Amino acid sequence: MKIIKKFIFAMVILLFSGLLFFPIAHANVRTDLRIERDFRVYINGQLTTIYDATMIYDTIYVPLRAVSEILAPDKQIQWDDDTKTAIIGERPSNLTPSSFTCCPEQVVFNGEVVKLEDCVFIRDGILYVALINISAIFGVPTRWEPLTAGSIIIGTRPERFMVQGLGLGEFSIFMDDFTQWELQEFYAHPRGVERSFTGIPLKTIFENLGFLVEDATATGVVFHAEDGFSVMLPWDEAIDSQNTFIAIKENGELFGTRQEGGSGPFRSVIALDPFANRWCRYLISIQIIR
């Protein structure tokens, strides 16, 4: 009898726990879980004016209409309240409600119901979908980068380079971040020819990211390029603010991307290097070696 009572008690506890926590999976039930943050949303390399992305626990949600108007501007988006369906583009002739009672909302793109990896929810008349669902709906890659001011990247990535090995995670430095810092003009003289650049000392970049340069146990820095080239500098030389810079312009003109026939958009420039052999064009990442 005691065993039966314990079993019944355990089942009651499990059922009660399920009633408490299962609705959390359906974000429409709990809108009080919003974390107020100023996320930045990049779509196809451009910073957008989408300011109402939100987080529920570890899941990022974005407003479907705002994203759709950028990724599929030629397709009308509408809401069918009878079937709880967001329709982008062509409307199917035999539209039926979702079979998942826990997540009744669904999305149709070009006449096809999209299999969603996470639930959607509606708040203040706006339909939100999980970031992972944007990939399923529009067929574009997505990425969430919490260390770079909460950046949401949809589609092609913006102009940026990575900084790795700070002991704080992996950072992305976007062009709009870079240009908001204090840029300076500096000169280099490879092979005796004076050249003018605009950029920021590498030491300043590390300090802006909160890295204690003077207390570092690093031995060097490796610059990696988009074309596979890499080059290493000793630590003391890399953090010399008169020597090692990350530049975006030469003679006042942006380098341009490799695809555009340029040598950037970012380059490492070693101002005191007499032959420019250790400069790195098409810079995509900076790795600290310990």
Cα 115 to Cα 107: distance, rounded to the nearest angstrom: 8
Helices 64-71 and 131-138 cross at an angle (nearest 10°) of 40
Residues with Cβ within 8 Å of residue 274, at least 6 apart in sequence = 189, 190, 191
User: Quick check: 63 and 76 in contact, CB under 8 A?
Assistant: no
Cα 69 to Cα 200: distance, rounded to the nearest angstrom: 36
Distances (CA, A) of 38 to 50, 127, 148, 152, 286: 10, 19, 11, 11, 27
Q: Would you state the pLDDT for residue 22?
A: 30
0.75 cut: is pTM over it?
A: no
Q: Would you state the pLDDT for residue 140?
A: 92
Structural domains of the chain sorted by starting position, each given as residue range(s) with its CATH number in brackets? 34-154 (no CATH), 160-289 (3.90.420.10)
User: Quick check: 150 and 143 in contact, CB under 8 A?
Assistant: no
- Report the DSSP beta bridge partners of residue 32: none
**Is the pLDDT higher at 22 or at 126?**
126
Average the pLDDT over each of 5-19, 92-106, 226-240 and give the range with the smallest value: 5-19
